[in-house]
Structure 1
Amino acid sequence: MKAMVYRLNSAVSKLFLCALVAVMPGLVQAQSVNDGQAVKALTTDSAGALLVLRDSGLLAMEGQNTTEIPLPLYDSGAQPRSMAKGADDSLYLAGPGLGIWRYEFASERWHSLNDTLPDLGITAIAAHATQPETLYAYLGEGGMFRSRDGGAVWVKVDSGPREPVQAFLHSDMPGSMESGWLFAGTTRGVARSMDCFCFWGDAGELRGTVSAIDYDPSAPENVYAVIEGQLHHSSDGGETWADLEAHQVVTALTFSPSKGLVVGTENGELLSRDASGEWVPVYE
């Protein structure tokens, strides 16, 4: 009788272990997809995978596949917090104490673009919507810098808006005297200028500290900004704004070729809007 009970317990234990092994990848996947840390920045790669920056690192996520992209080596005081995708799908990472880095997907290596910058205090970076070699960066009191050769040489081009810039965007929205528009999320609201740096003016009456800003590449007049966790939408290039309720504290946003508008939240979730306008998890 004891032997029978032992064999039964052993069989149950093996069954439990097999079941645990079967679900472990899903558990690991769930932990990787959402580790509870706020999403600091979002963008996509050339294949449409979401690139998600948190304090714990950088992940490339597509469907059920999650791949960690090791961050470049930097001092402990550095703060990676801004990402941009170039017109050639290059990935750029920036932040105070970090400066600016470009990631080569083919070689899986980071390259520093800091040689000609005055210092590493970059708070926001933007990539030109159509010119792969043109980049923009904001260096606090140092002002606006531009590179026309992929980050090899940076030149100061403007002092920027009166208020500090927290988020940065280049758009190919029509109407510019040159090649597009720059939208700067500042501590006062959204500022806008043609990329000739002719004049910085308010983009509408939206007020507050902007922590993230992006636009719909297929419809550039649609601009989105996050102020104190609240998502706002402009359908006319920043002239007027309306609240877009996400029912969570939003911390980052981007546009995915397959998902459309995707937002990252304070508790680490990734949400997109379905056809009915409801917010749904990107990866359930």
Structure 2
Amino acid sequence: MLALATHPERPGRIVAGLASGRVAISQDGGRTWKDRAVGNGEGAVDTVIMAAGQPDMMYAAIRSDGLWKSEDAGRNWSLAMDRPWLDDAERDLRSLASVDLATGMGGIWIYAGTDTGITRVPDCFCRWQDVQPGNAMDALVAGDAPPPEAPLPSGEPVRALVSVHTAPETLYAALPSGVWNSKDAGVVWSRLTSGDASAVAVNPIDPEHIVAALDGGLKQSRDRGITWSALAAS
């Protein structure tokens, strides 16, 4: 098992990405599972998500292949996008987040973390795009100074991405340099805590509560990442 996904509108549903090239889906909180092949079933499913506001729409990133989607809760799958071309090479998708933004064509953007940074595509699946301020073109036409940008550190793998359900422009990312946060849909990022971060999750009921895998252990924050403490096993 390489990845897990849940959705606040389907509290009993869990979707798992498997190294065997399949996804396993539970509708009862993990008690029973059914699995289905994605693509040709040869590439590992590195990450899976359910779409914001559309829990029956699922996306899976297949290693050495691309982004696949299902519109019927995982029963059938089709290719949505090839892998993005970044830094002179095709890049596998290591992490995914479905972000409900008014600027998207249809409102939903798929953000993807790769070995070298972050990219995104609107749900029309026209092309992978850099993350830019929504008003960048307006500033260019008006001759104004471009909006500020502070991207994630260049060249670092983005191992995990999450969008806050109640505030979709708020993103968290796990990188080797720590846990990072953006409040404007990925244009400006700031580091919340340092350490080798491999995963990050936000409580869907309490967005103040963040849990991250850091330096081989689990840490949590109850104040949106301002302070952190070790998460003790119970």
TM-score range, shorter chain: 0.7 to 0.9
RMSD over equivalenced CA pairs, Å: 2.2
Separation (CA, whole Å) in 1 of partners of 2:230 and 2:76: 41
Pick the aligned partner of 2:39 from 114, 117, 126: 117
Q: Which consecutive segments of 4 or more residues in structure 1 shift more than 3 A?
A: 273-276, 281-284
Q: Which deviates more, 83-92 or 185-194?
A: 83-92
Q: Which residue number corresponds to residue 4 of structure 2?
A: 83
Which residue matches 1:190? 118
Counterpart amino acid of 2:215? E
Q: Distance in 2 between matches of 1:184 and 1:276?
A: 22
Going from structure 1 to structure 2, the CA distance change for 1:172 and 1:276 (only over 3 Å counts) comes to closer
Shift of 1:274: 3.4
The aligned residue for residue 268 of structure 1 is 217
Taking the aligned partners of 1:277 and 1:270, their CA distance within structure 2 comes to 12
Q: 1:283 to 1:105 in 2, by over 3 A?
A: farther
Q: Evaluate the alpha carbon distance shift between residue 262 and residue 157 of structure 1 in structure 2; reply closer, same or farther with a 3 A threshold.
A: same
Which residue, 147, 156, 161 being the options, matches 2:84? Answer: 161
Secondary structure at the residue paired with 2:217?
Answer: coil
Give the TM-score of the pair, scaled to structure 1. Answer: 0.65
Summarize deviations over 1:241-270 as a string: whole Å, max 9, x none: 12222x443221111123522212232323
Name which of 241, 245, 249 aligns with 2:196. 249
User: Secondary structure at the residue paired with 2:64?
Assistant: helix
TM-score w.r.t. structure 2 length? Answer: 0.78
Relative distance call for 1:106 and 1:165 in structure 2 (3 A) is: closer
Deviations 1:169-203 (A, max 9, x none): 11213221114110100011011111111221223
- Which residue does the alignment assign to 1:29? none
2:103 pairs with 1:175? yes
Q: Conserved in 1, the CA contact under 8 Å of 2:18 and 2:24?
A: no
Higher helix share: 1
Report the equivalent of 1:130.
53
Q: Residues 107 and 262 from structure 1, CA distance in 2 versus in 1: closer, same or farther, beyond 3 angstroms? A: closer
Q: 1:181 to 1:280 in 2, by over 3 A?
A: same
Rg larger in structure: 1
Shift of the 276–176 alpha-carbon distance from structure 1 to 2, 3 Å rule, reads: closer
Identity of aligned residues (%): 23
- Asked if structure 2 preserves the Cα contact closer than 8 Å seen for 1:272 and 1:282, the reply is no
